[in-house]
Structure 1
Amino acid sequence: MELLLVEDNARISEFIVKGLEENGYSVVLSDNGVDARSRIAQKEWDLILLDIMLPDIDGIELLQYARFKKIYTPILVISALGEPDDKVKALDYGADDYLSKPFHFKELIARINALTRRAKLRYDDTSDILKCEDLVLYIDKHKVERGGREIKLTLQEFKLLKLLMENKNRVLARTQILDTVWGINYDTNTNVVDVYISYLRNKIDVEGTAKLIDTVKGRGYLIRTHD
């Protein structure tokens, strides 16, 4: 498994590279944003470990670049910026997980393993299209339509809708949604799931259409058919 580490702090990068190689990973180091952008574009990595504060091009710009180019390699942000707003911003721009510095190395390995497992499950899924009533989600194209009308979603909105549609007519708890879509251990009192459900409803459950996304009080959310 080949990982790209984007980190400009020599002490930290040496620590991470040494630890990952001892755990059987092959690691390529990039210490600035310009070089990282080139490496991200040149080949397909199994996982990208990305710092936010970088010379030339910062980590958020690299996230935007990768997702704009439809590069869906799992990206784990590792940053000293540990405030909730910093995490939400990175996740909104396409990060799959977020780990704050300083961290325990065992946790880094666990998060890498979790992300690569999820990626493998996605690649093994032979179904490219998910449907619920007149709502259609094209996985590979990252495209959503309802009644033939295209709906523009952010990456996190798309991931949330995909999870709901993969579990059609099944209630998903907020904690399950957090773990699967955002991949980090949020404070259980966070309302990020509720906020994104509201975003999806505003785009999908428009006037004149059946309401597909339901709240099950005390349990969570589901997307249901109306057979």
Structure 2
Amino acid sequence: MTDRGLVLVVEEDRAIADLVRLYLRRDGYGVHVEETGEGGLAAVRRLRPAAVVLDVGLPGLDGIEVCRRLRAEDDWTPVLFVTARDDEVDRIVGLEMGGDDYVTKPFSPRELVARVRTVLRRAAARPTTDEEVLELGGVTMNVDRRRVTVGGVEVALTSTEFDLLAHLLRRPGRVFSRAQLLGAVWGYTTGPGTRTVDVHVAQLRGKLGPGSPIRTVRGVGYGADAP
């Protein structure tokens, strides 16, 4: 394993897996490859990778089910989905199951590596001298400890959900367009579609419950205000 950490690649196409492994290693990551969903699930539990690059269309246990099982076990290892079709339904379902991002085949290996860097950056703690705590309504976020509570009860968020919520809570009352959120949270200069933001907002609201401070401004985007 190298300094950047281990990335687990779960991909049945050997040529694609070898290409991804080559580019990730060039960027300083250790790489472990599995060809099946069952093997990938076991490898996450055994190796505790920093991130998972997960093909949606795996035989048998598909990628979405692998992610669903991990999240059900309270395992929030960042997951980057790879899907063979430019199918919005696949992408939305993957994000709803707790995925952090996705790329569509055929993809640029450099883009995939950049996406891996982004999800790992979002997942990393940001230590500071004084802990940053954000509060709005019944939601309390300790940014440095990566913990969110609602009414004193801890809520498990993906790294992407966490950073999206932090971005909104740091600027209460301000409304952001979907393009602004894609740039600030996902790091995209051109986005994969506005549904990415919509799905993550819906997931966040569901987890935060009635006390969610996130509001929709029709035709503009999203902001955070005390309910």
| 3-state SS of 1:24 partner | coil
Report the CA distance shift for 1:45/1:127 in structure 2 as closer, same or farther (over 3 A).
farther
Report the alpha carbon displacement of residue 161 of structure 1 after superposing the two structures with TM: 4.0
Q: What SS does structure 2 have at the residue aligned with 1:89?
A: helix
Distance in structure 2 (CA, Å) of the matches to 1:144 and 1:84: 31
| Partner AA of 1:223 in structure 2 | A
Check conservation: 2:139, 2:148, Cα contact below 8 A: no
Verify: 1:5 aligned to 2:9, yes or no: yes
Q: Which stretch shifts more, 68-77 or 84-93?
A: 68-77
The alpha carbon displacement at 1:85 in A equals 0.9
Deviations 1:23-67 (A, max 9, x none): 332111111111111111123212211111223321111111221
Identity of aligned residues (%): 28
Residue in structure 1 matched with residue 111 of structure 2 by the alignment: 107
Residue from 119, 123, 130 that aligns with 2:123: 119
Q: Which amino acid aligns with 1:21?
A: R
Q: What is the TM-score of this pair, normalised by structure 2?
A: 0.75
Identify unmatched segments of 5+ residues in structure 2. Answer: none
Contact 2:139 2:211 in 1 (8 A): no
The alignment partner of 1:54 has SS state of: coil
**Offset, 1:162:** 4.5
- 1:173 maps to 177
Q: How many residue pairs align between the two structures?
A: 217
| CA distance in 1 between partners of 2:18 and 2:184 (Å) | 30
What is the root-mean-square deviation in Å for CA atoms of aligned residues? 3.6
Measure how far apart 1:20 and its partner are.
2.2
Q: 1:175 to 1:88 in 2, by over 3 A?
A: same
TM-score (norm 1): 0.75
Return the match for 2:150 from 145, 165, 171: 145
**TM-superposed deviation, 1:198:** 10
Cα deviation digits, residues 159-207 of structure 1 (max 9, x gap): 654542243343332223345667772335x59529946983994259x
Instruction: Report whether the alignment pairs 1:133 with 2:134.
Output: no
In 1, are the aligned partners of 2:133 and 2:141 still within 8 Å (CA)? Answer: yes
Residue pair 1:151, 1:204 contacting (<8 A) in 2 also = no
